[in-house]
Structure 1
Amino acid sequence: MRPMSAIGTRAVAALHRAGVDHAVHRYEPTERHGARRSDRPAYGLDAAAALGLSPSVIGKTLVVAADGVLMLAIVPADRSLDLKAFAAAVGAHRATLAESRHAERATGYLTGGISPIGTLRCLRTLLDARAADLATIYVSGGRRGLQVSLRPADLVRLVDGEVIPISSQDL
């Protein structure tokens, strides 16, 4: 049996197994906690600041419940997920952000470190069209303080994703 990876996350191990060209980037995560949604940490923005990158190249992975079915959305960190556009794209009547406990159970990752790669359950994944146009996208490597960079086309192939405009600029 092959070891998971020197980094120790399923996401990085999956990238190695698939032979996808990628780089691993570590940073010191900001620890913040908030009870209200407006107080919650903006993990993608923190990663961008720590790595000296534009937030537009950081893909934040969100777990969405579309008519009760869990799915993933990847949108640039400087944009918001348009839940109506997401619901329409997947043929659902309603889409909401999943509760953290459901997101963590489905992905096997902790909130703030949810990667679209190597999730416990195979979840339908939508990548925002803006992110697909990047030369390189950064997504969580499977824990807070760890990002992986790769070509968006490789990400879409690896997660069997769909490229659809699902973001809005209301951040």
Structure 2
Amino acid sequence: MTPACKLLKTQKIEFSIHEYEHDPDAKSFGLEAAEKLGLQVAEVFKTLMVTDEKNYFVAVLPVNHQLSLKKVASAFGCKKLKMADPKDAERLTGYLVGGISPVGQKKRLKTVICISSKQLDRMYVSGGKRGLDIGLKPQDLADVLGAQFADIIDE
């Protein structure tokens, strides 16, 4: 039971657990999850961390899209953001890269979820380790994280 699953249970949020055998040679953790779980790529979301050098923020977006640093900076009211160092992401979340869940991080950071998720009945995010995804309603994810929805993908 990962911190993500524990938190969702405590908050009484309905979620499903989906496990698969993670291939260490996989080029993309998110695309691997979609393929192995038999899900559409638009339903599977990755968790990325960005920083303005002082603060850290979390962005949740579909695995088949690139994050727009300009759009995500605007969503957080920042002038400029850059991708966080993977070591910082692991230290701040308590999860390993490739298994970083937006839920149950060591410290809750301001989070934005891609607006495209609102069209879905269920979205899938990392459950807190490689080879584990959790499925839940986008609004439930936003509620538990205190997150907002925004257009954050690079078109």
1:13 aligns with 2:6: yes
Deviation at 1:25, TM superposition (A): 0.3
Matches within 5 A, 1:26-37: 26-32=19-25
User: Aligned residue for 1:130?
Assistant: 116
Aligned-pair CA distance for 1:67: 4.6
Which protein has the larger Cα radius of gyration, Structure 1 or Structure 2? 1
Partner of 1:50: 36
Corresponding residue for 1:115? 101
Q: Which has the higher contact order (CA 8 A, sep 6+)?
A: 2
**1:42-83, Cα deviation, whole Å (9 max, x unpaired):** 111110011011111001000111353111000011111111
Q: d(CA) in 2 for partners of 1:67 and 1:22? A: 34
| 2:138 alignment partner in structure 1 | 152
CA RMSD of aligned residues (A): 1.2
Give the TM-score of the pair, scaled to structure 1. Answer: 0.87
Amino acid at match of 2:136: L
How far 1:93 sits from its partner (Å)?
1.6
Unmatched runs of 5 consecutive residues or more in structure 1: 1-7, 34-40
User: Would you identify which runs of 4 or more consecutive aligned residues in structure 1 move more than 3 Å?
Assistant: none
Scaled by the length of structure 2, what TM-score is found?
Answer: 0.96
Aligned residue pairs total: 155
Structure 1: distance between partners of 2:75 and 2:15: 29
Residue 153 of structure 1: CA displacement? 0.4
Q: Cα offset for 1:155?
A: 0.3
AA in 2 matched with 1:153: Q
- Name the SS for the 1:132 alignment partner: helix
> Any idea what SS the aligned residue of 1:81 has?
coil
Higher mean C-alpha displacement, 86-95 vs 133-142: 86-95
CA deviations over 1:100-145 (Å, ceiling 9, x no partner) = 1100011000000000000001100000100222110000000000
Of all paired residues, the percent bearing the same amino acid is 35
